[in-house]
Chain A
Amino acid sequence: MTQVDERSTTDGSRVAIDTVTSGRPWTEPLRSVYRAPWVAARRWREQGGRVVGLLGGCAPRELIMAAGMLPMRLRPAALDAEPPAPLPDGLARELTPSTAAVLAALWGGGLRWIDALLIGRDCEAHTKLFYVLRELAAERPDRLPPVAFSDMLRLPSRTSARYNRRRLADLRGVVGGWAERSISDAELVAAVADSARTAAALAALDELRIARRVSGADALLAAVAAQMLPGPAVREALAAAAGPPRTDVVPVFLTGSDLDDTHAYEAIEQAGAAIVGEDHGWGDDGREVAAATSDPLDGIVDRYQFSARRSARAGLERVVRTAERVRRSGARGVLQVIRPDDEASAWELPALRAALPDLPVHSVRLAQEDRPALREATAEILSTIGAIRV
C-alpha cells in the first residue's frame, strides 16, 4: 500500500509515536525496521549477506530464506531515506501510487539496499510493474537490480496447482542464481520450519490481541516487521510482548485494502476501538503458513494458492474465511477500508454483510492517498465506529 510518508511527518506526530511506544519496549526493534528498513538491510549486508526486496505478500519468501538471503518485504512508503525524484508524468499514470513509488525509487537510483527484487502477483498492478521494469531494463540494463516475478495462481483447481509448482520450481533456480548457488531440499525444509516458528509467535501474539492485551497497531507493526526481519529477531521481540488487558475498547475487525500504516490503526484505536483482526495482505495472525510436506515446494505452493488474505484476485469463498476470522476474533463490528487502487474489495461487501448478518459492516472509501484524505477518512472511520458501538 502507499501510505503517508513518515519521513515528512511533523514534530506533532513524532511525539504521538513516542507516546504510543512508551512502556512497550518490545515494539522498538520492530518499529525501527518498519520506519527505516534500509538500516537493517545494511547491517545484514555488512555481514556479507544479501537482501532480496519482496513486493507483495505472495512472493514466496521461503525460497529466499532457503538460499540464505534475507527477504524484506518493501513498504512503498519507506523505500529510502531520501525521497526519490518523481517519475515522468505519463509513466506514473501507468501505475498505482504504490507501484509508482517502487519504480521511482528503483529508477532514481535508490533502493540500493536490495540485491534483487521479487515481485509477487498480489494484484495486477504488480504484473504491470513487472512489465514496465522489463521494458525499462531493455533500455538501461545497468540501472536495475535483478528482477523476477512470482506468478502464483489462486483458483483452487489442480490445473493451477500444477502450474504454480512449475513456476515455483523455476523460481527456485532464479533465486539460486541470485545467491550463486543451488537451493537444497534440506534448506527449503529448514526455511519452512523457521517460518512456522515465526508464525507460531505471531499466533500467540494474536491471542494477546484478541484478549486486548496488545493493540491492533502493535499487532500490525509486528506483522509488518516480521516480513522484514530475520525470524530469530522477530521471535525475540515477540517473546516480550504483553500488556494489561483493556476493557474500555470495542473490538473491531478490519477488512479491505492492504494497509501497512500503523498511524491509520492508531487513529482508529484512539477513537475507542481495538482492531482485533484483519484479513488484508499486510496482517498476519500466524495461521497461514507453509505446511511441512515431503516435497517442501508442495507446502509452499499451498500456502500461497489457498491464502485467504487480500481481496485482489480472490473469489467470494474468501469472504467465508473472513467471516470465520471475524468470529474467532470476537469483533463486534467490521470495518472495510478501501483504498483508491483497490479494485476488488468493494465486490466483497454484499457477501460479507450476508455472511455476518448480526454484525454491523461499514465500508469507507479513501478518495485519495494523501494525508488530508487520510485524516478525513479517519473521521469517517470514527463515526462508523460510533455507529457500531450504539
Chain B
Amino acid sequence: MSDASALRRRPELRCTAEISRYQRAWFAALRERVADGEPFAVLSADSPHEIYRAMDIPYVVVQWWSSLIAAKQLGPRYLSTLASAGYPDTLEQYNALPFGELLADDPGTAPWGGLPRPTILQGALSSDSMRQLYETWARRSGAAFYPLERSVDVRWKVEADWWEQLPEHWDEFLAAERLDLLTDELTGLIHSLERATGRRFDETSFAEAMRLSNEQARLNRGTRDLVARTVPAPVSAGETMPAVMIPQWHRGSGWARDAARLLNAEIRERVEEGVAAHPGERLRLMWLGRGLWSSLGLYQHFQERHDAVFVWSMYLGLAADGYLRSFDGGRDPLRALAARFVPVGEELRMPTWSSAWHLKEAKLHRIDGVVSLGEEDFFSVRRLEEAGIPVLSVRANNVDRRTWSEAELTDLVDRFIEERVWPARHERSA
C-alpha cells in the first residue's frame, strides 16, 4: 500500500466543504485561546462534551483528532513513537494516537499545527486499558484526568428496540442504578471542573446545550430517513461521514445544530431535484464498523466499478438514533445527559442491541450487501445473512494502516459484490 495513492473523496455536497472550513477556523481559534492560557480538555468520544460546552471550556474529541492523524497518514509514525517510549502500539490505537503525537513532540509535522497540550483529560473506562492509557497520558502531559465508570447492563432480559425507546422513555428503559451512577459522577465532575477552571457551571446554558443537541439529533433522524428511503441515494456514506461527524463533535452548540440543518436541507433539495450520489445506482451497500477516514474515496470507488453505493455508515445511523434524550415534563437535563452516555457502545457492541439495529437499518435502507471491518459482528452477520443480505467481514483496524491496504480491500469488496451481492440480489428479486 502506498500512502500517496490514498483514494480521495470526490465532493457530493456543498455543505461538507463549508463544514470542514468551519472546523479549520474553529481549531485555529481554539489554539489561540489555549495559547492565551485558557484551559483545554481532550475528551473521549463517549464522555459528556455537553458539560464542557455549557462551561465554555475549549475541548477536542480524541476520536476526531485521531481520524485527522489517520487522514494525514501520520498514524504509523505516532504508533512507533509510542512503542519506542515503551508503551503498547497495538492496543487502543484510536485513543492512543494523540498521546503518540504528544510524545513525538514535533508540531511542525503534526496535523493543523498540532494538538495543544491538554490541561484536562477525560475518558470513560470502556476497555481494560483505558484507565492506564489516560493516566499515563495525564502524567506525561501534566493534565488532570477525570475518569468516568462504564457500568454494565446486567439484566438477563433486555428489550432490543432501543432506538424506539431511549429518546423518550430512557428513564424506564435503562436501569436506575446505572443512571444514578453516571448522574452522580457528572455532578462530581461539574464541581471538579468549577474548581479546576474557576468557571461556573450555568444550568441555563446547560439546558440550552441539551436542547440544541436534541434538535441536532432530530435533524439527523430526518436526514437519515431521507437517505434511507430515496433510491438512488442522494448522498453516499463517504460524504455523510465528515458532514455528520464534524457537527457531532460540536454537539450542543448553535453552529452544530445549524450545520445539521444545512446538511438536511441540501439533501432534501437533492431528493426533490432528483440528484443522486450515483445516478446509475443498482446496489446499496452498508459499511459496518469504524470508517476508513484516511481513504474516504474508497467508498465511492465501487460506484464506478459496480454501480454499488455505500449508503449507510454507523456515523449518520447513530447520530440519528443514538443521541436524542427528551427531558420535557420537568425531567433533569443532567440525568438525560447521563441517559445519553450510559448505553453508549452498547448500541454497537451488545449483540442483543447491535444485531437488531443493524438489521433494522439494513431493511430501512434497502441494503443489498454489508462490508464489516474490524467488528465483533457474529450476531449481526447471522441476522443479516438470515434476512438474505450477504456480509463480508474483514479483520483490520481502521486507523492502523499496517493492518489493511486499499488495494487488498478493493479487491475483496470487488469479489464480494460479484460473487455474493449480485447473486443474493437476483435471488431476492426472483
Contacts and interface: CB of A to CB of B under 8 A. Distances in A.
A109 to B, nearest CB: 20
B351 interface: yes
B101 interface: no
B132 A344 contact: yes
Contact of B378 (A93, A137, A160, A348): A93
Given A135-B379, A155-B149, A350 B87 contact: yes
B149 A124 contact: no
Interface centre among B133, B149, B377, B381 (most CB of A within 10 A): B149
Interface stretch (B152-160, B215-223, B305-313): B152-160
B352 A135 contact: yes
B376 A94 contact: yes
B131 interface: yes
Given A131-B350, A151-B154, A153-B149, A343 B87 contact: no
Interface in B109-152: 125-129, 131-133, 135-136, 139, 147, 149, 151-152
A163 to B, nearest CB: 4
The majority secondary structure among interface residues of chain A is: helix
Interface centre among A94, A121, A131, A151 (most CB of B within 10 A): A131
B152 A316 contact: no
Given A149-B154, A346-B91, A135 B351 contact: yes
B132 A350 contact: no
B132 A131 contact: no
A322 interface: no
A350 B149 contact: no
A311 B131 CA distance: 10
Interface centre among B86, B135, B156, B393 (most CB of A within 10 A): B156
Interface in B158-184: 158, 177-178, 180-181, 184
A4 to B, nearest CB: 23
B277 to A, nearest CB: 31
Given A90-B393, A131-B352, A138-B352, A155 B125 contact: yes
Contact of A314 (B132, B154, B188, B381): B132
A128 B158 CA distance: 15
Interface string A341-362: 0111011111101000000000
A135 B293 CA distance: 32
Nearest to B382: A90
Contacts of B297: none
A123 B127 CA distance: 8
Nearest to B177: A166
B56 interface: no
B92 interface: yes
B128 A313 contact: yes
A93 B376 contact: yes
Contacts of A147: 156
B152 A149 contact: yes
B149 A349 contact: no
B235 to A, nearest CB: 32
Given A130-B152, A134-B158, A167-B154, A315 B132 contact: yes
A128 B126 CA distance: 12
Contacts of B185: 157, 159
A203 interface: no
B392 to A, nearest CB: 12
Contacts of A153: 149, 151
Nearest to B186: A159
A91 interface: yes
B152 A163 contact: no
A375 interface: no
Nearest to B156: A134
B381 A90 contact: yes
Given A93-B376, A128-B376, A315-B132, A121 B152 contact: yes
Contacts of B393: 90
Contact of B135 (A167, A316, A353): A316
A93 B86 CA distance: 29
B317 interface: no
Contacts of A315: 131-132, 135, 147
A160 B91 CA distance: 26
Interface centre among B88, B131, B188, B355 (most CB of A within 10 A): B131
Contact of B136 (A88, A127, A160, A351): A351
B85 interface: yes
Contacts of A128: 349, 376
Nearest to A92: B378
A343 B87 CA distance: 12
Nearest to B187: A159
A117 to B, nearest CB: 12
Contacts of A130: 152, 154
B279 to A, nearest CB: 36
A45 B98 CA distance: 55
B406 to A, nearest CB: 24
Contacts of A88: 378
A88 B378 CA distance: 9
A132 interface: yes
A167 to B, nearest CB: 7
Contacts of B135: 315-316
Contacts of B158: 134
B149 A160 contact: yes
B132 A123 contact: no
A346 B377 CA distance: 27
Interface string A327-342: 0000000000000001
15 contacts: A93-B376, A121-B152, A128-B349, A134-B352, A138-B352, A151-B154, A162-B184, A167-B177, A312-B129, A313-B128, A342-B128, A343-B128, A344-B132, A347-B136, A350-B136
- Which A-B residue pairs are the 4 nearest by beta carbons? A347-B132, A312-B128, A346-B88, A90-B378
Interface of B: 85-88, 91-92, 125-129, 131-133, 135-136, 139, 147, 149, 151-152, 154, 156-158, 177-178, 180-181, 184-185, 188, 349-352, 355, 376-379, 381-382, 393
Given A135-B351, A162-B181, A313-B125, 12 more contacts: A90-B393, A127-B152, A131-B352, A132-B379, A138-B352, A147-B156, A153-B151, A159-B181, A343-B128, A343-B129, A347-B136, A353-B86
